[in-house]
Amino acid sequence: MQFGFLGIDHKNAQLDIRDKISFTDAMKLELFRKAENVGVDQCMVLSTCNRSEVYYFYSEEGQKAEIHRIYEEMFPDIEVKGYVSALSGKEAVAYLFRIAAGLESLVLGEDQILGQVKEALDYSRTMGYAGKELNKVVRDAITCAKRIKAELKISEKPLSASYIGIQKLQEKAGIKGKKILVVGSGKTAVLALKYVYEYGAGHVAACSRTFSHARRLREEFPEIEVISYEERYGAMGQCDIVISATSSPHLVIRREEFSPVRPMIFLDLAAPRDIDTAFADEPLADLINLDTLQEIAENNRIEREQLVEKSRELVEKELQETSLWLLQSRMDPAIESLQQRCGAIVEDSFAYLDRKMELGPREKKLVKKVLNASLQRLLREPIRELKRLDTKEEQEEYKRLITQLFQL
């Protein structure tokens, strides 16, 4: 059997296309059943916001074309063919390894994809479409990704200025239990809120120029206090940390409007700036803005790219073992046939001896055990040599010879 892959991702399809080419669980099951009808009984679908891909094992070249046809027919309203990429053999296995390790992700090295690969395999196995080969390849890819994550820690080099900013807050003063004000209600502000809650923030308040926008934050953060934009300076006096992330073209927090009376940290995630740079000269204030954060993000990006190269080297090493296992597993049907023939001979020989000799229960067990051990001893070396064959051509030749010699 050969391993194959086809699908779309963020590299070959824009978001509006990816939104239309995605799989529900019901669609995955439909694809599995159609694949089984053309002889492909091991199949996995990885469907995320950035990719919709199918991984499968096939035994005949014609089955690849059938899987392509089935994939395209799943989305009849879209000209899928122009967006789909495909690989087979060792290249397909290597691609899956890189996928699991986050090396093919939009954000290089992200580790969310690892959980998504696990879930995809679990679904295939639950539905009965993940056999020995698919389980082996995907689990090896997951193991390799875990090793990369543990040894190289790529995902610990964040590229998001928002996340880096929150990390800076954590380093400087800690976030757990702190009183925080977030000014803004857009995507950056929402991200900041998610991160501070993850770090265990205490009382969190939010405001926005448009009060209704700030109030909508309660849908995701029900415990948040929403105040009016005009109350921001009064609220700041009760806070340990102020985070601003608006799209305003002007400063929203001015030095002449507010004087800290105790140590505070200001995090400005806006461009252009939201917070007056004069706070940098205030003894009780610590100001963090995008100038600092973008420099850290750029350094992290460079370091992450270097780690990605090391990850690719590690993938290549791990890939060799899986590729060898797949190559050797092609001889399993021939070896299994030999074992079955051996079992049949043992049963025939034992039946003859049992008819000719008066054997008790203990002697019957012993005779059958000796007959089986003798034939297994004869096959042990040939089987070992069959597993060492390292080219497809040799394997096919030996399969032909075994079939002919043993009349399998």
Q: Are 370 and 353 in contact (CB under 8 A)?
A: no
CA atoms within 13 A on the CB side of 338: 24
Q: Which of 113, 71, 119 is nearest to 96 (CA)?
A: 113
Give the separation between CA 380 and CA 408, rounded to whole angstroms. Answer: 18
Catalytically annotated residue among 49, 144, 207, 342: 49
For residue 330, with 0-12 CB atoms within 10 Å meaning exposed, 13-18 middle and 19 or more buried, which class applies?
Answer: middle
- Does residue 43 have an active-site annotation? no
Rg (C-alpha) for the chain, rounded Å, is: 31
Structure tokens at 7: 């699908």
Q: Which residues are catalytic?
A: 49
